[in-house]
Amino acid sequence: MLPEEFDLSGRVAVVTGGGTGIGKATARLLAKRGADVAIAGRKADVLEDAAREIREETGGKCLAVPTDVRKPEACKALMEKVAEEFGRIDILINNAGGAHGHVGLSKIDLAKWDRDVQLNLSAAQYCAQAALPCLKKSKGCIVNISSLAGVHGTQGVGAYSAAKAGLQMLTRVMAAEWGPAGIRVNCVAPGMTATEKATAGWDERGYDAMQACSNFPLRRYGEMDEVAQAIAFFASDAASYVTGETLAVGGGPQIGGMIEVET
């Protein structure tokens, strides 16, 4: 039996980008903990498959709502659909994101810059603002999904890095402005994580992900369920007095030194 502070029974969660990767893992975990879940994304077939899997695995409710979160009116329609179906919204996970290609800032196509900023930053505001009336009623919470690229920066994905950094500041401002209404807003910043998309990219490029992690304290990349656990913490009453924070889930700080230190 779950400790009371982690039990999400009776709550309704919306997870954007919920058809695959970290979003799907998070939706599954929230459903396991008792929440009714709605997953949103652009690909209806992928969403329906994910929703069916989550229902079969957890026995809970999972609604698939095809949505392009880059469009404010679509975000509004998403929240209206979920509220109509489940009667309330308690948790919003702003997980939709991604980078359009890898290229330096001197050569980036400005339309791709705009798409990355819209998807990784603006969409979170669109969804949060649309969900706000319901979240005020439920005194709910928002978890924004950033990236360690937004903490340290990553060459070749400048727009993505900048947008994810902006999402962390948006988290702080949302927390300050909406805290008096009883709404908590926090952020999770995953590092290298073995999502389906990431592992396919590693295989395609012959990228040795474990070697790339050799300077991480934990010496490995993360799994989707490990990131989902951090997200679920912020969504639960276990984090009832935490707001405006960003939690890195990336295998530890990469700190150099002047000597080799034995464990």
> How does residue 56 score in pLDDT terms, banded at 50, 70 and 90?
very high
C-alpha to C-alpha distance for 7 and 57, rounded to whole angstroms: 18
Is the pLDDT at 4 greater than 80, yes or no?
yes
> How does residue 61 score in pLDDT terms, banded at 50, 70 and 90?
very high
Q: How far is CA 70 from CA 52, 128, 226, in A?
A: 25, 13, 27
- Within the chain, how many helices (H) and strands (E) appear? 10, 7
pTM, entire model: 0.95
Catalytic member of 160, 207, 221, 241: 160
Residue 176 belongs to what H/E stretch? Answer: helix 158-178
Of residues 91, 65, 64, the one with CA closest to residue 76: 65
C-alpha to C-alpha distance for 233 and 93, rounded to whole angstroms: 12
Is the pLDDT at 203 greater than 80, yes or no?
yes
Q: How far is CA 171 from CA 16, 22, 146, 153, in A?
A: 16, 19, 10, 18
Among the four given CATH numbers 1.20.1250.20, 3.40.50.720, 3.30.1490.20, 3.40.50.410, the one describing domain 4-192+231-249: 3.40.50.720
Is the pLDDT at 170 greater than 80, yes or no?
yes
User: Is 126 considered catalytic here?
Assistant: no
Is the pLDDT at 1 greater than 90, yes or no?
no
